[in-house]
Amino acid sequence: MRRRSTASLIGSLLLLAFAGPAAAKGDAMAALDTPIPPDADPGTELEVGWRAWTPDGGSEWPFVGSPIFIRLISTDGGSSTEVMGLENPRGSGHYLATVVVPPGGVGRVEIGLLGESCVDGRCTRSDILFELPDDQRVPAAPVPARPPPDNVPLALAIVGAAATLSLLLGLTRRVRATSGPAGVAAPAHAGLRGPGAST
């Protein structure tokens, strides 16, 4: 079973090598330990970790001792930074690296297997890019804070005016209820009926 799986892994790698510098959908997988912060400042050094593997039926075969890199591409695609990963622990398919955020911030993350293609004695770089989860390949943009509406002072003024008007109306009703004709204050016994008072 191990021989068959090893042969399957080697076959997959050979197939990917001929595919050229393209994403290896479903054939080579990678996952970051923690997603890259989308708001990381340019020039910041980030400590990152990831694992890389290839599926084999219901199991996974890690890329052990391989030249695997991580690349950060700027938001405008005009610049990038790249660094090779160091497998830790050895034989695990888990890699660590320190990578610098490129100018303009992080727009896309790539993890791949360093490769080379030679034709007629001329060799060019031909990497194999691993498939990353969508939320790790393109860092999620931070949700901006919602600015307060421009009419907040006006709204507060309207609320304050309404409260003042309500208070004045309430005071007016109380004064009318305790006053006699023409605004003369009613006697203290007004509204009370004494003994024998006619109806």
Show contacts of 1-9: CB within 8 Å, 24+ apart: 5/56, 5/57, 5/59, 5/61, 8/56, 9/54, 9/56, 9/61
70 & 158 share domain: no
Would you say residue 192 lies in a domain? Answer: no
Strands 128-131 and 23-32: parallel
61 & 130 share domain: yes
127 & 172 share domain: no
Tell me the mean pLDDT in the region 75-82: 94
Of 29-38, 76-85, 163-172, where does mean pLDDT reach its minimum?
A: 163-172
Would you say residue 188 lies in a domain? Answer: no
Confidence of residue 129 (pLDDT cuts 50, 70, 90): very high
Last residue of a domain, one of 137, 168, 191: 137
CATH number at residue 95: 2.60.40
User: Over 70: is that where the pLDDT of 110 sits?
Assistant: yes
47 & 108 share domain: yes
User: Over 90: is that where the pLDDT of 27 sits?
Assistant: no
Of residues 37 and 179, the one with the higher pLDDT is: 37
Of residues 146 and 35, the one with the higher pLDDT is: 35
User: Over 60: is that where the pLDDT of 47 sits?
Assistant: yes
User: Over 70: is that where the pLDDT of 106 sits?
Assistant: yes
The total number of structural domains in the chain stands at: 2
Closest CA to 106 of 71, 68, 134: 71
174 & 100 share domain: no
Of residues 33 and 135, the one with the higher pLDDT is: 33
Alpha-carbon gap, residue 183 to 162, rounded angstroms? 27
Would you say residue 126 lies in a domain? Answer: yes
pLDDT for 26 equals 53
Domain that holds residue 69: 2-137
Whether residue 186 contacts residue 176, with contact meaning beta carbons closer than 8 Å, is answered with: no
Alpha-carbon gap, residue 35 to 22, rounded angstroms? 22
Confidence of residue 101 (pLDDT cuts 50, 70, 90): very high
109 & 74 share domain: yes
Chain-centroid distance of CA 170 in Å reads: 53
